[in-house]
């Protein structure tokens, strides 16, 4: 993914130096280190937003060489304290290949099938949020009633299934099938899930999706804009660059010192 250099106007803010641009990293070891750092920061953002305090959620990042393996935080670490050392590599069978600790089995059941179904993505994010989970209980698609909602205009799906505790990878496969090629899915009675070609994009859009859900819960009768206006807004706020952009603002706001993740 190419990031428009207009963002260089923010230099020399330390989170926006060349290390922020995954597409510019050619060496697999450096790319892995980059992804692990961004993944730990992503968990910290969730923690700053007070999400995942019951262990309910997970963010994954595909390994750049072992493409059927992915990284996530080991189970039991509060999101606001996650460091690179807390990340573990999960193999195709759900076992921990690198790192120390265990993971929430549901995390494997959800993430592995999605990564398998979507070779174009690097990351997936899911947790139970104050507005996303109740909105998903309505089993309704987003309507273009806010700018954030337009980021998902004709680019999200619904997983209409009663399995809210994903007890096997079969459930994850059904989620992957329902997701298709969209960047977001509303899991019935469960919560939000986003995917992306970078961790930054995935998490930036997850936060936008929660804001869209909040607007729907607070303004259930909100008047949507028309299809043409929604499509035009999507071309601005629904691009991968827009998700990446949002992540940079989240970092600037919540994680002033990125070195805390190690």
pLDDT one-digit tens code per residue, 224-253:
999 999 999 999 999 999 999 999 999 999
Domain annotation covers residue 255: yes
Instruction: Tell whether 210 is covered by a domain.
Output: yes
- Alpha-helical (H) ranges within the chain are 28-48, 105-117, 132-136, 147-150, 169-179, 199-218, 227-237, 240-254
DSSP lists the bridge partners of residue 98 as 89
* Distance between CA atoms of residues 89 and 71, nearest Å: 4
218 within a domain of the structure (yes/no): yes
Residue 82's pLDDT band (cuts 50, 70, 90): very high
Query: What integer best gives the mean pLDDT of the chain?
Result: 92
Q: What is the domain count for the chain?
A: 1
Exposure of 165 by Cβ count < 10 A (0-12 exposed, 13-18 middle, 19+ buried)? Answer: exposed
pTM, two decimal places: 0.92
CATH number where 91 lies: 3.40.225.10
- Domain containing 159 equals 14-259
In a domain, 8, yes or no: no
Q: Could you tell me if residue 9 is inside a domain?
A: no
Q: Is 4 among the domain residues?
A: no
% of the chain exceeding 70 in pLDDT: 92
Determine what percent of the chain is predicted with pLDDT higher than 90: 86
Q: Is residue 81 part of a domain?
A: yes
pLDDT one-digit tens code per residue, 117-147:
999 999 999 999 999 999 999 999 999 999 9
Give me 49's structure tokens.
């937003």
- Burial code (b: 16+ CB inside 10 Å, e: under 16) for 22-57 equals beebeeeeebbebbbbbbbbbbbbbbebebbeeebb
Torsion on CA atoms 157, 59, 210, 229, rounded to nearest 10: -50
In a domain, 230, yes or no: yes
Confidence of residue 13 (pLDDT cuts 50, 70, 90): very low
Task: Give 20's pLDDT tier (boundaries 50, 70, 90).
Answer: low
Predicted pLDDT at 12: 35
**Residues 161-213: tens digit of each pLDDT:** 998 889 889 999 999 999 999 999 999 999 999 999 999 999 999 999 999 99
Mean per-residue pLDDT, 45-55: 95
What pLDDT score was predicted for residue 15?
Answer: 41
- Which position has the higher pLDDT, 8 or 244? 244
- pLDDT(254) > 50: yes
């Amino acid at each position: 993914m190419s990031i428009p250099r207009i963002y260089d106007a923010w230099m020399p803010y330390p989170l926006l130096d060349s290390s922020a641009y995954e597409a510019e990293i050619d060496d697999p070891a450096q790319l892995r280190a980059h992804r692990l750092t961004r993944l730990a920061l992503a968990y910290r953002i969730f923690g700053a937003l007070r999400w995942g305090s019951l262990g309910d959620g997970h963010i994954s990042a595909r390994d750049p060489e072992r493409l059927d393996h992915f990284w996530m935080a080991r189970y039991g670490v509060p999101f606001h304290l996650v460091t690179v050392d807390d990340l573990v590599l999960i193999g195709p069978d759900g076992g921990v290949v690198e790192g120390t600790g265990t993971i929430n089995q549901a995390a494997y059941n959800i993430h592995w099938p999605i990564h398998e179904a979507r070779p174009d993505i690097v990351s997936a994010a899911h947790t139970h949020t104050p507005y996303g989970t109740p909105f998903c209980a309505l089993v309704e698609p987003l309507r273009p009633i806010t700018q954030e909602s337009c980021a998902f205009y004709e680019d999200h799906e619904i997983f209409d299934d009663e399995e809210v505790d994903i007890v096997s990878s079969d459930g994850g496969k059904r989620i992957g099938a329902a997701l298709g090629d969209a960047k977001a899915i509303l899991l019935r009675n469960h919560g939000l899930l986003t995917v992306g070609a970078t961790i930054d994009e995935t998490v930036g859009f997850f936060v936008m999706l929660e804001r869209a859900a909040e607007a729907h819960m607070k303004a259930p009768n909100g008047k949507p804009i028309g299809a043409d206006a929604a499509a035009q807004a999507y071309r601005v706020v629904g691009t991968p660059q827009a998700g990446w952009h949002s992540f940079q603002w989240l970092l600037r706001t919540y994680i002033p010192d990125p070195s805390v993740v190690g």
